[in-house]
């Protein structure tokens, strides 16, 4: 019975953690793009994004990560033999990368607050896709375990990365054109 409780709260933690990670970097994008606004809108927006980022990180994202990790430890304590399986080692590597991403977001948040962030909105859009790729790999490993069809999976992950990169570029191009049209009308 303990396994089911650990698993249920592990899944809830994952959902909360990823929701926070996805939205946090989106806020970073808006924060960076607020620099293009005239005063006083620029200052008002940046102040509001700082508040939203801190609350999201501290009240939702970090607790989601902590619940996820704590419940994973609980799961492993109920089935310690799984620690000997190769798929779990790879999954844990991706989870470690995700934890690193989480803390890197904290660093970016501090840079944004100090007005020292060198990332562009477009670069942050690309960064925002990293947890999607990690989530995909982690879930596939958890579901398929040692039977993961790596030949198909590798191509799907590669295809998704290419698709995301192309989509980001096309969206950025569309936004530039829309902005140019708006400027031309004024």
Binding residues for heme: 10, 91
Known binding-site positions: 10, 91
Radius of gyration over alpha carbons of the chain, in Å? 20
Residue carrying the six token digits 């191509």:
155
Of 26, 43, 25, the residue nearest 34 (C-alpha):
43
- Between the CA of residue 97 and those of 94, 118, 131, 136, what are the distances in Å? 5, 22, 9, 13
Residue 96, both tokens: 């470690």
* Residues listed for the chain: 186
Instruction: Please tell me what DSSP assigns to residue 37.
Output: S
The CB density around residue 132, as the number of other CB atoms within 10 Å, is 15
Q: Which residue blocks in the chain are alpha helix, DSSP H? A: 2-33, 41-55, 62-78, 86-113, 121-127, 130-144, 150-185
């Amino acid at each position: 019975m303990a396994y089911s409780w650990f698993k249920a709260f592990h899944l809830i933690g994952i959902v909360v953690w990823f929701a926070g990670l996805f939205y946090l970097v989106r806020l970073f994008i808006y924060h960076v793009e607020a620099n293009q606004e005239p005063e006083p809108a620029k200052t008002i927006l940046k102040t509001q994004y700082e508040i939203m980022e801190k609350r999201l990180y501290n009240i939702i994202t970090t607790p989601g990560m902590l619940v996820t990790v704590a419940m994973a430890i609980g799961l492993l304590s109920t089935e310690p033999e799984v620690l000997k399986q190769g798929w779990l080692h790879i999954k844990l590597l991706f989870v470690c990368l995700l934890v690193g991403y989480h803390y890197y977001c904290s660093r970016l948040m501090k840079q944004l607050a100090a007005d020292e962030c060198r990332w562009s909105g477009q670069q942050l859009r690309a960064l925002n896709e990293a947890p999607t790729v990690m989530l995909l790999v982690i879930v596939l490993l958890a579901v398929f375990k040692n039977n993961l069809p790596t030949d198909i999976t590798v191509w799907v992950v590669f295809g998704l990365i290419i698709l995301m990169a192309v989509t980001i570029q096309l969206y950025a191009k569309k936004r530039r054109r829309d902005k140019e049209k708006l400027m031309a009308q004024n």
